[in-house]
Structure 1
Amino acid sequence: MVFKQFLPRKIFTETAPATKNVVVDSLMLEAVQADSIADEKDTLTNTRINFAAVNGIKFPAENFDDYKGYQHLVLFYEKLLQLETKKQGKVRIAYFGDSMTDGDMIVKEFRSSLQNRFGGEGVGFVNITSESAPSRSTITHQFSSNWKTLSYLNVKYPTKPFGVNGHVFFSKKDTIDPAWVKYKANNVAHLTMLNNPTLFYGRSGNKKGSVNFIIGKDTLHKKLNAVNAVNTLSIGKGDLKAFKAQFIATDSIPFYGFNFDDGKGVHVDNFSNRGNSGLPIATFNTSVMQSFNDKLGYDLVILQYGTNVLNYGSLNYTWYERKMARVVEHLRKCFPGVAILIISTADKSTKYDLEMKTDSAVVPLTRAQKKYAVGANAAYINLYTLMGGDGSMVKWVEEVPVRANKDYTHFNYRGAQKISDLIYTQINNGYEEYKKLRGHKPVEPKAAEVKKQDSLIQKTDTTHAE
């Protein structure tokens, strides 16, 4: 009864079924209840945004309407420059998203573009279990049914902290058929091997746990030492094509996933969750995230949300702006020194008077996302305008070549590739501007940097099927 006047007509706009008792709903309803009744005061229209220099580099001032915030990516751009000019260092990106990036959609091509140019081999961090595993083309991922999965979308206070992927996994006690997970590299550029497979797991009083790594006809037995908030266990066999891991007597030990990278160039971790608004990130345990960061070393965090925030009964998104500003503030505590990039919601169409048109909530939401990006000193990409603005989703669905699904919300594989190209191009434009400010002359792309196309046949995915 308390929330009745604030309840939206639709909780989820996605085609995939909502997870039962999803926490994000309560977080959003709390935010609406507390903030949406306040009038939104727009003080940024026609505002000139000036920047403070970082390491002697200062981008020109921007108008709010055209805001991109390249200034806030200076440290990230410098890391890329060291990679490009001196082949030194490495760069890691955490890409958080909702169903738009499910199954490595968008992120796959984004990762490939960066690795083509700056180097790097490996798919990055992969969960123990995943609802999108059957549709993911960048790695073959299988797992047994005797895993217990806790997500920050459906559990507010987990028995053990969530990992950087927003999940924590427990093997169910089974002495006959122990829990297992399998990974196999696919025929995709830069992802043809499982580079330096490393297991991430948490603290536990269990001192008997171990893992059997089955590699071809060989079995490697390794003990677990769950003494720290975040622990790692390397297989120690270098790059592998495939392996199976059996978890022996590991009940009560929290597991997070495996990381695959060669330690050079650029690596992009895809942390997607269907039904996510972005707000659950605020529940991350700061010290645990800092431990993950010590081992993985993030330089950029990308937040691409909005699909699940549209159509909440109001065009006033002040509540979301405020909550996400706090999410960004929290991320900076979790990953000190990290740059933040906000990617807005894409266009979405709804039927008005028997005609599909841009949903009336899209523009107000993108504006709220830009406002919290400006206020939080984060970079910003307006995906809605990049894909064509008003009415663009209708064109992507109905014109040839088809780039989006009949739900007028999600992209198909062709559309996801185009979206990735748009995102990469804007980031790269800022990088090229940064190089000019640093006094570097433009370098013509080498033939080896031309984007490769993988020949892998895409897997069936009812969420993203064309």
Structure 2
Amino acid sequence: MTDPKDYTQRGWKACAALIAVLTVVGFLPPQQVGGISLRRANILSEIVSFDDGAAAERDEAPADEIELPEIDWEQAAEVVPVMPDTVRPQRERTLVFEWRTAGPAKVPVAVDSLRAEEFIAQEAPAVPIEDFDTTGASPLAAFYEKLAERRPVRIAFLGDSFVEGDILTADLREALQREFGGSGVGFAPMASPLTGFRRTVKTRSSDWTAYNVMQQAKAPADVRDLFTVSGWVCRPVDGASTRWEMTDARECLTPTESARVWFRSVCDSRVEAVVNDSLSRTFEVPGDEALREVAVYHPDLRTLEFRVKSGAAGFVGYGACFAGEGGVTVDNYSIRSNNGRALFRTSPALNAGLQALVSYDLVVLQYGLNIMQQGVHGYAKYGEQLRQMIAYVRRCFPGAAVLVLGVSDRSVRSDSGFEPMDAVPYLTREQRRAAEQSGAAFWSTADAMRSLGGMARFVTQGWAGKDYTHINYGGGRQIALVLFDAIRAGAARAAGEGRRESLQRVELEPVLDAAAVDSLLFNRPIEIR
């Protein structure tokens, strides 16, 4: 019987060879495989560190991510300005169907304009909004004035998955409505597979087929050009219905006072609206290619059901907007995985028709999370796309102020744990530059998050996911309150300026009276200093 061979030395040799290979691999720079970034495999991270950011490509983000859209701007410029006139209700075409239901009498509440004194004790906002308008007639200043005077204000919040499910916007809406009045959850789509994630409104729909603008090519040919900024179009069959129920997830959501259902019906159709599961009314809708609206008013509106009773063949549904008859309305138009380019796939004419119906005062652009990459510091092409987005919004929503939100803070895994993504300040800088060059407004979301401790603290506090990228409702509330402080500060300035102008007029009146008397008695010209 022979003795068994001793393989101990071979095992140690194999182990040493493996360590040697891994050590050599650790000195290889990060690689790109199939468009996916692979980080350095450094087993000596506790001893040797590398500045991979300096070695990475920093000139520009991948072209396939920031390719500029193909759009006929001249045609858009011709179509959009005339749309508000063409969609205005006329004798031969009724585009707005109104129903004021019978209900409990509403007690009128006297609302005064804000007084500058109310803000004296308030500290300056942690992150102010920068207004780059140089025309002397800033739309953002006009927005602040309407807030200060407690006039109705409408905000369209266009974003990506960062605000999906009413994250951030739910708390911004609540804070604004508590301060400046208003009620209601704003826009809710007719049907969507994502409605279950939203806490601020319950949506139950049946017999609708929903299409998302991010999969525009998969939508039927006859609806591909019918998307609005909501990002959804829904095709029904006869009998299709949607029921929206207000919730108490935030203050001021319920009860509300009005619901406006938006749709397009190129053929004659019959639709029905049911309020609070009891009051109902049927509308005969003549065919038309423009955006249509059924506006329902009830002083204690808690549920609304909308049915397509006939005419589904030429019908497209968008959703409903729930709001008070005064105060602030915030509509969340979030589209998952959108870096902003999907905006150009929407219809300028239908967007302008929406503006003619509701008149947005402020449009917020919250994008960039899906374009940012570790090690990439050049975002000039994305900045150019953002400037085109601002121009597009202005053509679709004339008169509205445009506010660009900088990209949020984000962390990435490194050999020593998670660290801030190095691309954040570079993309933020390009977004701010695009706003400045376009005369729009800018607010830094990353600065707001870092004023609260940054993404690392957000994760520790349970305000963001373990991916160190997406915030949750807790994180959204923190950011919303910082943004609210910045908006409130703008309204305070408007209130203060209005107060000063009022005092100047009061002080000037006696001078003018005395000067007028002096002019009549002594034939002297009136002199105002």
Q: What amino acid maps onto 1:164 in structure 2? A: V
CA distance in 1, matches of 2:174, 2:197: 18
Q: 2:213 aligns with which of 152, 163, 174?
A: 152
The question of whether the paired residues in 2 share the 8 Å contact of 1:230 and 1:292 is answered with yes
Q: 1:256 aligns with which of 318, 341, 345?
A: 318
What residue is the counterpart of 2:107 in the other structure?
Answer: none
Q: Cα deviation per residue 1:55-85 (whole Å; 9 max; x = unaligned)?
A: xxxxxxxxxxx99423549434434434534
The question of whether the paired residues in 2 share the 8 Å contact of 1:197 and 1:239 is answered with no
What residue is the counterpart of 1:332 in the other structure?
Answer: 394
CA distance in 1, matches of 2:491, 2:299: 33
Q: Does 1:9 align with 2:36?
A: yes
Cα displacement (A) at 1:252: 2.6
Q: Please show how residues 31-430 of structure 1 align to structure 2 within 5 Å.
A: 32=66, 68-70=129-131, 72=133, 74-85=138-149, 87=150, 89-144=151-206, 146-155=207-216, 158-171=223-236, 173=237, 178-187=239-248, 188-204=250-266, 206-211=267-272, 213=274, 215-217=276-278, 219-235=280-296, 237=298, 239-249=300-310, 250-311=312-373, 314-388=376-450, 392-398=454-460, 401-430=461-490
CA distance in 2, matches of 1:313, 1:203: 49
CA distance in 1, matches of 2:440, 2:34: 31
Identity of counterpart residues, as a percentage?
Answer: 25
Return the structure number with greater helix share. Answer: 2
Secondary structure class of the residue paired with 1:197:
strand
Q: Which has the larger radius of gyration?
A: 2
Q: What amino acid maps onto 2:229 in structure 1? A: V
Q: Cα deviation per residue 1:335-368 (whole Å; 9 max; x = unaligned)?
A: 1121110111111111111410011222211111
Cα displacement (A) at 1:286: 2.0
The question of whether the paired residues in 2 share the 8 Å contact of 1:347 and 1:389 is answered with no
Runs (5+) with no aligned partner, structure 2: 1-31, 38-61, 70-126, 502-529
Secondary structure class of the residue paired with 1:196:
strand
The question of whether the paired residues in 1 share the 8 Å contact of 2:171 and 2:481 is answered with yes
Q: What amino acid maps onto 1:167 in structure 2? A: W
CA distance in 2, matches of 1:294, 1:239: 26
What residue is the counterpart of 2:21 in the other structure?
Answer: none
Secondary structure class of the residue paired with 2:371:
coil
Q: 1:79 to 1:379 in 2, by over 3 A?
A: closer
The range that moved more, 184-193 or 372-381, is 184-193
Return the structure number with greater strand share. Answer: 2
Q: Cα deviation per residue 1:271-301 (whole Å; 9 max; x = unaligned)?
A: 1111111121123322221111111111110
Secondary structure class of the residue paired with 1:369:
helix
CA distance in 1, matches of 2:36, 2:304: 47
What residue is the counterpart of 2:18 in the other structure?
Answer: none
Secondary structure class of the residue paired with 1:308:
coil
Cα displacement (A) at 1:383: 1.2
Secondary structure class of the residue paired with 2:235:
strand
Aligned residues: 381
CA distance in 1, matches of 2:500, 2:211: 48
The question of whether the paired residues in 2 share the 8 Å contact of 1:305 and 1:343 is answered with yes
Cα displacement (A) at 1:106: 0.4
Q: What amino acid maps onto 2:228 in structure 1? A: G
Q: Cα deviation per residue 1:107-157 (whole Å; 9 max; x = unaligned)?
A: 01111111111111221121101333222221111212x322222211157
Q: 1:383 to 1:266 in 2, by over 3 A?
A: same
CA distance in 1, matches of 2:129, 2:276: 47
The question of whether the paired residues in 2 share the 8 Å contact of 1:6 and 1:313 is answered with no
Secondary structure class of the residue paired with 1:270:
strand
Instruction: Calculate the aligned-residue CA RMSD, in Å.
Output: 2.9
Q: Cα deviation per residue 1:377-424 (whole Å; 9 max; x = unaligned)?
A: 1111111122117982112212xx332221111122221110101111
Q: 1:404 to 1:67 in 2, by over 3 A?
A: closer
Secondary structure class of the residue paired with 1:202:
strand
Q: 1:291 to 1:212 in 2, by over 3 A?
A: closer
The range that moved more, 406-415 or 294-303, is 406-415
Q: 1:391 to 1:124 in 2, by over 3 A?
A: closer
Q: What amino acid maps onto 1:197 in structure 2? A: A
CA distance in 1, matches of 2:388, 2:344: 7
Q: 1:107 to 1:360 in 2, by over 3 A?
A: same
Cα displacement (A) at 1:431: 3.2
The question of whether the paired residues in 2 share the 8 Å contact of 1:201 and 1:256 is answered with yes
TM-score by length of 2: 0.66
The question of whether the paired residues in 2 share the 8 Å contact of 1:6 and 1:29 is answered with no
The question of whether the paired residues in 1 share the 8 Å contact of 2:148 and 2:492 is answered with no
TM-score by length of 1: 0.74
Q: What amino acid maps onto 2:271 in structure 1? A: S
Q: 1:131 to 1:385 in 2, by over 3 A?
A: same
Q: Please show how residues 12-31 of structure 1 align to structure 2 within 5 Å.
A: 29-30=63-64
